[in-house]
């Protein structure tokens, strides 16, 4: 009997993974970050409320070490930093695949915590479409529409999402937090408004001879206030961003072999107005220049796979390109990017599979090998066991190497960060349920940490070292009456190994426990959900002496089919109206919010 594959990314079939179906959130006002929180091993760092920046952490790795790909194209902030999830339109997506572990062999240099693959709505060969409009608290509005249609011999999809929010929510803070039972005082968030327009176009055209041409274009444009932390608000800082991404792929599958060629390009621009390292300033004044940073990346990729006998499927990719950054506080810089990767899926007797992979990346002057191997044993139809090992690196970003801005100094001598991890897991599944559990152990060194650069700047250095271990549990159970229950739990033990007083303490900003519970019903006339998200207290410094308190948030929604394909939904988030919630950096989070949503699906 041949080996059997777990539900996973095609690029990392042996990795610990969670597939999130975006359709399950129909009728809810979701962001990409909200969706990802349903998976174990995921943490989101959100700088405030709706429309504000949000980045991803996988298995305790930093945001820069967690790769985000849109239809296979890596997303990054200008200068190579972490992708901002808030710029991605949630309603334009089909599903998200979260792969966890040191996965440089599968996803390329940088995937030290893992990767999130975001798959946009697919083209369809028959006409379908939908629309959704919502209005809610804090002046929040969303309108989204999509249409899939035949196009010639092929198909296409067009989708648009428009968001806006005033972001003027109320929050509460203690002015004297050292005093027991100090009173909370009420405030209203200002300069937290956000507007965004996102577009997606995708088409697929058969060319004959089992050959297809795929086209993808995605653009996003936003403008938001940067309100700052509660203790140092910034009423004059704003950020404008634009991004455009496009790709062409030619692919052919013939019998036991498949090949593809792809070119893609990405343009990103961010302009900061009224912003400076320590607070804000009045835009337009001589001492307050605008910071305009632009980045671009182009890549050409070839890929192929070939079945060899009945036990091997060999796959390889070759990729070459360039990334550039310039503008504002950074001199023009560019670097070449080159990679070669190969993988073999080996099906062995007794339903055993082994998947060795290796990838060589050269990013500018930094080059390295990322080997990895995973093994899967489908012991029975209801039981899968897996294990994996990976070793990889993350080259410093162009910003880390070259950005000189206000209080930030560059360090062109930075080396890549390095990590390896070992993990294992078990999955039990039946017709209507699935339970999975996994453990991992990872080691990081040469981590890039921003340190004071006397007298008054910060500068990145390769001084960090850490060991992160943990466990992940997930349960999905289909219940009677159209109910679906989900639970995801993550445990992290992130220990700082940097020599000095920090050694042996917990890594800052990593919550040891995170629990997500959700019960949802889908049906013909009545839908609804209730969910709970718990994040334990997490260290706010590197010495286990300051903690951000634990957070418990309940959300719920109900929807009824009003007429034909038209549904009306009511959603309540932060049901307990806890106005004291803050993110890691003391950015207030919204209290209870209501949204009324109308949607139609044809």
Partner 1 sequence: MKRSALVILLLAACGGRYKAPPAVASVPMPSGAQLKPWDPEHPGLARPMGIAQLNGKAYVALGNYDAGYMPRGPGLLASFVPSTGQVSLIDLGGTGGKQCISPGWVRTGGDRLYVTCSGDFNSGAGTAIVEVDPSGQGSATRRFATSTSPAGVAATSSRIWFGDAFKGAVYALDRDSFTAAGGPVSIACPLEGTYQTVNDVAIVGGDLYALCSNSVGGVLNRLESTTGSSKGTVQVGPVAAAMVETGDGRIAVVSGADNKLRLVTISGNQLSVATAYTYGGQTSTLQDVRALDQFVFTVASGTNTVQKIDLSAKGGAALVDEESVGSCDSSGVCPTPWNILPLDDDQALVTNQGSSTVVAVKWAH
Q: What's the closest the beta carbon of residue 426 comes to partner 1, in angstroms?
A: 37
Q: What's the closest the beta carbon of residue 545 comes to partner 1, in angstroms?
A: 5
Q: What's the closest the beta carbon of residue 445 comes to partner 1, in angstroms?
A: 15
What is the phi-psi region of residue 110: left when phi exceeds 0, alpha when psi lies from -120 to 50, beta otherwise? left
Of the pair 93, 192, the CB lying nearest partner 1 is at 192
Q: What's the closest the beta carbon of residue 539 comes to partner 1, in angstroms?
A: 8
Of the pair 180, 309, the CB lying nearest partner 1 is at 180
CA dihedral 522, 94, 211, 5 (to 10 degrees): -70
Q: What's the closest the beta carbon of residue 456 comes to partner 1, in angstroms?
A: 5
Of the pair 285, 478, the CB lying nearest partner 1 is at 285
Longest dimension (CA), the chain: 75
Residue 221 tokens read as 């444009």
User: For residues 225 and 93, what is the distance between their CA atoms, to the nearest angstrom?
Assistant: 26
Residue 400: strand, helix, or coil: helix
Residue closest to 6 by CA, chosen among 441, 303, 437, 307: 437
Residue closest to 402 by CA, chosen among 337, 455, 457, 332: 332
User: For residues 6 and 505, what is the distance between their CA atoms, to the nearest angstrom?
Assistant: 36
Q: What's the closest the beta carbon of residue 262 comes to partner 1, in angstroms?
A: 41
Q: What's the closest the beta carbon of residue 280 comes to partner 1, in angstroms?
A: 6
User: For residues 157 and 294, what is the distance between their CA atoms, to the nearest angstrom?
Assistant: 29
Of the pair 24, 506, the CB lying nearest partner 1 is at 506
Of the pair 153, 452, the CB lying nearest partner 1 is at 452
10 Å CB burial of residue 585 (0-12, 13-18, 19+) is middle
Of the pair 137, 276, the CB lying nearest partner 1 is at 276
Tell me the DSSP string of 467-514: EEEEEEEEEEEE-STTEEEEEEEEEEEEEE--SSTTTTSBPTT--SEE
Bridge partners of residue 88, in order along the sequence: none
Q: What's the closest the beta carbon of residue 276 comes to partner 1, in angstroms?
A: 5
Q: What's the closest the beta carbon of residue 43 comes to partner 1, in angstroms?
A: 18
Helix ranges (H only) for 231-318 are: none
CB 470 within 8 A of CB 442: no
Residue identified by tokens 């704003």 is 238
Of the pair 182, 382, the CB lying nearest partner 1 is at 182
**Strand segments (E) across 232-290:** 238-254, 257-273, 275-276, 279-280
User: For residues 57 and 80, what is the distance between their CA atoms, to the nearest angstrom?
Assistant: 16
3-state secondary structure string across 350-386: CCEEEEEEEEEEEECCEEEEEEEEEEEEEEECCEEEE
Of the pair 227, 438, the CB lying nearest partner 1 is at 227
Footprint on this chain of partner 1 (rule: CB under 8 A):
174-179, 182, 185, 187, 190-191, 231-236, 276-282, 285-289, 406, 451-457, 459, 461, 463, 498-502, 537, 540-543, 545-549, 586
Q: What's the closest the beta carbon of residue 52 comes to partner 1, in angstroms?
A: 17
Of the pair 278, 332, the CB lying nearest partner 1 is at 278
Kindly report the CA angle at 12 between 10 and 17, in degrees rounded to 5?
95
Of the pair 252, 580, the CB lying nearest partner 1 is at 580
Q: What's the closest the beta carbon of residue 437 comes to partner 1, in angstroms?
A: 32
């Amino acid at each position: 009997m041949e080996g059997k594959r777990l539900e996973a990314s095609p690029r990392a079939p042996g990795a610990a993974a969670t597939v999130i179906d975006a359709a399950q959130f129909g009728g809810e006002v979701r962001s990409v970050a909200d969706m990802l929180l349903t998976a174990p091993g995921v943490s989101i760092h959100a700088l405030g409320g709706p429309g504000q920046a949000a980045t991803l952490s996988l298995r305790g790795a930093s945001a820069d070490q967690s790769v985000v790909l849109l239809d296979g194209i890596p997303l990054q902030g200008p200068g190579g930093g972490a992708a901002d999830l808030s710029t991605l339109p949630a309603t334009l997506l089909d599903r998200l695949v979260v792969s966890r572990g040191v996965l440089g062999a599968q996803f390329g240099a940088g995937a030290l915590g893992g990767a999130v693959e975001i798959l946009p709505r697919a083209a369809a060969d028959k006409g379908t479409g939908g629309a959704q409009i919502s209005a809610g608290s804090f002046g929040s509005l969303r309108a989204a529409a999509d249409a899939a249609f035949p196009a010639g011999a092929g198909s296409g999809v067009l989708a648009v999402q428009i968001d806006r929010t005033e972001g003027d929510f109320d929050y509460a803070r203690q002015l004297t937090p050292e005093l027991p039972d100090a009173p909370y005082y009420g405030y209203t968030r200002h300069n937290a408004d956000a507007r965004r327009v996102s577009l997606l176009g995708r088409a697929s055209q058969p060319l004959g001879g089992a050959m297809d041409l795929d086209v993808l274009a995605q653009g996003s444009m936003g403008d938001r206030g940067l309100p700052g932390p509660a203790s140092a608000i910034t009423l004059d800082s704003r950020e404008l961003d634009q991004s455009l991404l496009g790709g062409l792929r030619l692919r052919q599958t013939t019998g036991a072999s498949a090949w593809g060629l792809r070119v893609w390009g990405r343009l990103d621009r961010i302009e900061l107005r009224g912003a400076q390292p320590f607070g804000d300033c009045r835009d337009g004044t001589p001492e307050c220049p605008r910071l305009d940073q632009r980045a671009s990346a182009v890549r050409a990729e070839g890929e192929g796979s070939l079945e060899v006998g009945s036990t091997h499927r060999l796959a390889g990719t070759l990729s070459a390109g360039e990334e550039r950054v310039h503008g504002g506080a950074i001199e023009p810089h560019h670097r070449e990017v080159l990679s070669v990767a190969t993988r073999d899926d080996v099906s062995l007797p007794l339903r055993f599979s082994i998947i060795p992979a290796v990838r060589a990346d050269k990013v500018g002057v930094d080059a390295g090998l990322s080997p990895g191997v995973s093994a899967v044993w489908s012991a029975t139809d209801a039981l899968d066991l897996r294990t994996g090992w990976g070793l990889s690196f993350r080259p410093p970003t162009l910003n880390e190497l070259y950005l000189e801005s206000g209080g930030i100094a560059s360090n062109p001598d930075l080396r890549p960060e390095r990590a390896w991890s070992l993990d294992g897991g078990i999955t039990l599944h039946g017709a209507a349920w699935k339970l999975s559990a996994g453990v991992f152990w990872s080691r990081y060194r040469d981590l890039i940490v921003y340190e004071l650069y006397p007298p008054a700047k910060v500068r990145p250095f390769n001084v960090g070292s850490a060991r992160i271990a943990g466990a992940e549990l997930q349960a999905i159970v289909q219940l009677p009456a159209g109910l679906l229950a989900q639970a995801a739990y993550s445990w992290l033990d992130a220990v700082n190994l940097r020599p000095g007083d920090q050694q042996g303490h917990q890594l800052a900003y990593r919550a040891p426990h995170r629990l997500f519970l959700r019960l949802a019903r889908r049906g013909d006339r009545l839908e609804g959900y209730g969910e709970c998200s718990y994040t334990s207290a997490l260290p706010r410094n590197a010495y286990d002496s300051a903690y951000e308190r634990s957070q418990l948030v309940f959300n719920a929604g109900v929807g009824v089919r009003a007429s034909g394909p038209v549904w009306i939904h009511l959603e309540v988030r932060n049901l307990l109206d806890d106005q004291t919630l803050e993110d890691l950096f003391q950015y207030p989070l919204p209290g209870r919010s209501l949204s009324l949503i109308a949607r139609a699906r044809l």
